[in-house]
């Protein structure tokens, strides 16, 4: 059996398309009708959408009628944040698709700090204080951080928020398909989900809206999705989303093997580079995610070197047009800037094998050996001269 010449370890950016999703999408491409039409062709398209809705609802522990399809999690997050409330409380480590609209909606936005492990601190007093304001309040807490894999406590703070009259939203994009997620048991009002994070196609997502919650539409016009989200449905993408959700639910028990591979990778990194730091290691994390940092390293250089060695990883979140800079998540955790700028994220999933881990470790060791052999004072060897201290060459002399 031939070994894949590359190791794809960037599932948190986008998971490889599952074969079940591919098959469902190809079948859906042959559906000619508009799902809003009443003829046979239209009913066939509608059936594909409703089957997918049932599958997505099942993997997140919701009712099918609570699932509203969107173009992705960014739309779902924007919809929840822009339309649910006028007073907002969010975690400092939230994804930009939550933080950016929150800043637009509420000039008095309350940003909750997180501790050194990345766990958001939610004092109950923040909701008591919020009751004095005008308009409806909303607490938005992510289920799992996409950069560090750190899991948040959602149900407790959510209960306190709802008792104070707040709507509770959860960005569960990175958690679905990797750990158990139960919308009803968590007591949520709103939850964002993405297709391509669990092996479905890009360009599809959902906002789960608690039955009975009045949420104004973000997109108005055609009245699709029971008048909650207008626009002709992307039937192939939705069908692929549903198939991926069903496969992910069926294979959730296999995530213990992914966790084993993650632990092997972290142990290997520690053996090769004892000064490496696993960010959020002391917290409960996703089974597939490692955020590894080296003080004085340059993440951009590391990514390039790993890519050339056939290994694909990311530096923090990959959802910001490929830019690499200081991570607001690591800053919120109080991580030293010199360490934060040397942080990379390794994320695994349903396609990851021990060969992938071995390829990463071999590349990591080779990069470390080269840096050591040239006596480079920084890990960003071969960096441009203007990035090195005055008078110092790339060989550290």
Active site residues: 319
Q: Which residue has the tokens 């200081």?
A: 326
DSSP label of 229: S
Distance CA 121, CA 152 (A): 10
Q: Which residue has the tokens 């809003």?
A: 36
Distance CA 111, CA 155 (A): 18
Q: Which of 328, 370, 371, 346 is nearest to 285 (CA)?
A: 346
Alpha carbon separation from 348 to 43, 58, 183, 259, 317 (Å, rounded): 38, 23, 24, 9, 14
DSSP label of 217: -
Q: Write phi, then psi, for 344 (nearest 5 degrees).
A: -125, 160
Distance CA 233, CA 132 (A): 41
Distance CA 60, CA 181 (A): 5
Distance CA 87, CA 193 (A): 23
Distance CA 199, CA 340 (A): 29
Helices (H) and strands (E) counted in the chain, each on its own, are 14, 12
Q: Do 206 and 76 touch, CB atoms closer than 8 A?
A: yes
Six-digit token string for 268: 């290997």
Distance CA 381, CA 329 (A): 26
């Amino acid at each position: 059996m031939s070994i894949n010449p590359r190791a794809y370890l960037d599932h948190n950016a986008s998971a490889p398309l599952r074969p079940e999703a591919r098959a469902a999408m190809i079948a859906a491409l042959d559906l000619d009708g508009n799902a809003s039409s009443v003829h046979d062709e239209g009913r066939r398209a509608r059936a594909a959408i409703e089957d997918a809705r049932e599958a997505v609802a099942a993997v997140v522990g919701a009712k099918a009628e609570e699932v509203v399809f969107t173009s992705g999690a960014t739309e779902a997050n924007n919809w929840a944040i822009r339309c649910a409330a006028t007073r907002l409380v969010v975690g400092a480590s939230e994804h930009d698709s939550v933080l950016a609209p929150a800043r637009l909606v509420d000039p008095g936005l309350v940003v909750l700090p997180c501790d050194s492990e990345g766990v958001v601190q939610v004092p109950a007093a923040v909701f008591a204080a919020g009751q004095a304001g005008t308009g409806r309040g909303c607490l938005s807490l992510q289920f799992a951080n996409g950069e560090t894999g750190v899991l948040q406590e959602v149900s407790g703070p959510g209960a306190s928020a709802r008792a104070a009259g707040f709507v509770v939203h959860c960005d569960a994009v990175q958690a679905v398909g990797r750990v158990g997620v139960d919308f009803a048991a968590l007591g949520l009002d709103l939850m964002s989900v993405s297709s391509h994070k669990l092996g479905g196609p890009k360009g599809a997502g959902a906002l789960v809206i608690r039955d009975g919650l009045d949420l104004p539409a973000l997109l108005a016009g055609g009245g699709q999705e029971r008048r909650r989200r207008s626009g002709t449905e992307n039937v192939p993408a939705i069908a692929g989303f549903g198939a991926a959700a069903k496969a992910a639910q069926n294979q959730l028990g296999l995530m213990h093997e992914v966790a084993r591979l993650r632990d092997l990778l972290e142990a290997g990194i520690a053996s090769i580079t004892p000064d490496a730091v696993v960010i959020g290691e002391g917290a409960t994390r996703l089974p597939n995610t490692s955020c590894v940092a080296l003080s004085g390293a340059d993440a951009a250089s590391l990514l390039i070197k790993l890519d050339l060695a056939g290994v694909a990883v990311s530096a923090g979140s990959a959802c910001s047009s490929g830019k690499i800079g200081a991570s607001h998540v690591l800053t919120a955790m109080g991580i030293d800037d010199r360490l934060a700028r040397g942080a990379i994220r390794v994320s695994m999933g349903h396609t990851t094998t021990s060969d992938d881990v071995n390829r990463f470790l071999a590349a990591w060791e080779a990069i470390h050996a080269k840096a050591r052999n040239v006596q480079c004072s920084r890990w960003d060897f071969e960096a441009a001269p203007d990035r090195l201290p005055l008078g110092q060459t790339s060989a550290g002399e």
